[in-house]
Amino acid sequence: MTSAVQHQPDRAAADAVSVHGLGKVFKVPDGNGGQTRHTAVADVDFTVPAGGSLGIVGESGSGKTTIARMLVGLERPTSGTITVLGRDRSRPGRGAAERRRRAREAQIVFQDPYTSLDPTQSVRSAVEEVLRHQTDLTEPQRAARVDELVDQVGLTARQSNAKPKELSGGQRQRTAIARALAAEPRVLILDEAVSALDVSIQAQILNLLADIRAETGIVYLLISHDLAVVRQLCDSALVLRRGRVVEQGSCAQVLDAPADDYTRALRAAVPTPGWRPGG
């Protein structure tokens, strides 16, 4: 087995996210009434400095979404450690205060906002609910903060009173981003957050995310199979294959001059300008 290619960047800032020896093994039915072990993630290491952004890329089944779910506590690691803002998140948080603190440290935006939004809630209600649970703001302060967040993600006052079924895919994704930002996280994990959108809406959401990062200094971890999206939003990239890191470093190093054959194959699969499906 070959070791992962490691491009070592110069980093003076403290790490906002630090992952060492991370592993996840699932027990799955073997079809004969028993179970077998499936290694989804194996011995993954990476760090993201304060204010930085990392793209985790790979094919479907490479383990990237499993890593995202472990970072926010939706899955528990089988091995290794996860540290966010200097605090260990490798084990479940205990108590309401601990869960609230973790929510303020890291939030996640999923691929399909329609399934993650309550169909009975308006945009305002969904965002206000997070503020009610995660902050000590008064009701008037919450209302003002909702207005700020709605404006920040580019939704109108009219759209803020709409329910998910009344919104476009891009508007629903803006709602999901506003809801995640309501907790004022220092780290935002974007799990294929633009892959379900058409190209023009993708560009709008990516520009929005870039603006938010410039304004707030929030840390991004972008989970994506799309190298072009990673290049636009991230400083560094990590390439996963079958749960293992094959290459990592700055986006320029990894995407422009990949050292691993798998990374080169991913890059070769990116459509070129003017490419059309079937053409």
Query: For the chain, what are the domain ranges?
Result: 15-268
Residue 119 near residue 165 (C-beta atoms within 8 A): yes
260 residue type, one letter:
D
Which of residues 180 and 5 earns the better pLDDT score?
180
More confident residue, 273 or 154: 154
Position 274 scores a pLDDT of 41
User: Measured between alpha carbons, how far is 120 from 62 in angstroms, rounded to an integer?
Assistant: 35
> What local confidence, expressed as pLDDT, does residue 190 receive?
94
> From CA 208, how far away is CA 216, in angstroms rounded?
12
Whether the CB-CB separation of 123 and 154 falls below 8 Å is answered with no
Q: Mean pLDDT, the chain, as a whole number?
A: 87
Q: Which of 12-21, 140-149, 180-189, 228-237 has the lowest mean pLDDT?
A: 12-21
pLDDT digits (tens, 9 = 90+) for 86-129: 889 888 767 777 777 888 889 999 887 778 889 999 999 999 99
Confidence (pLDDT) at 92? 73
With contact defined as beta carbons under 8 Å apart, do 57 and 225 qualify? yes
Q: Which residue has the tokens 């992962």?
A: 4
Q: Which residue has the higher pLDDT, 204 or 144?
A: 144
| Closest of 154, 220, 229 to residue 190, by C-alpha | 220
Interval 146-168 mean pLDDT: 94
Q: Which of 143, 134, 136 is nearest to 106 (CA)?
A: 134
Structure confidence at residue 12 as a pLDDT band (50, 70, 90): very low
Provide the pLDDT for residue 165.
93
Asked whether the predicted pLDDT for residue 262 surpasses 80, the reply is yes
- pLDDT band of residue 271 (cuts 50, 70, 90) is low
Assign 270 a pLDDT band (cuts: 50, 70, 90): low
Quick: pLDDT tens for 234-254. Answer: 999 999 999 999 999 999 999
Give the pLDDT band (50/70/90) at residue 13: very low
Per-residue pLDDT at 116: 81
Is residue 277's pLDDT more than 50?
no
Amino acid at 259: A
* CA trace torsion 196, 89, 92, 95 (10° rounding): -110
Determine the topology of domain 15-268 in CATH. Answer: Rossmann fold (3.40.50)
pLDDT in tens, 21-34: 999 999 888 888 88
Tokens of 225: 């199979």
What's this model's pTM, rounded to 2 decimal places? 0.85
Q: Which residues contact 23 (CB under 8 A, 6 or more apart)?
A: 39, 41, 42, 43, 44, 77, 78, 79, 80
| H, E, C per residue of the chain | CCCCEECCCCCCCCEEEEEEEEEEEEEEECCCCCEEEEEEEEEEEEEEECCCEEEEECCCCCCHHHHHHHHCCCCCCCEEEEEECCEECCCCCCCHHHHHHHHHHEEEECCCHHHHCCCCCCHHHHHHHHHHHHCCCCHHHHHHHHHHHHHHCCCCHHHHCCCHHHCCHHHHHHHHHHHHHHCCCCEEEEECCCCCCCHHHHHHHHHHHHHHHHHHCCEEEEEECCHHHHHHHCCEEEEEECCEEEEEEEHHHHHHCCCCHHHHHHHHCCCCCCCCCCC
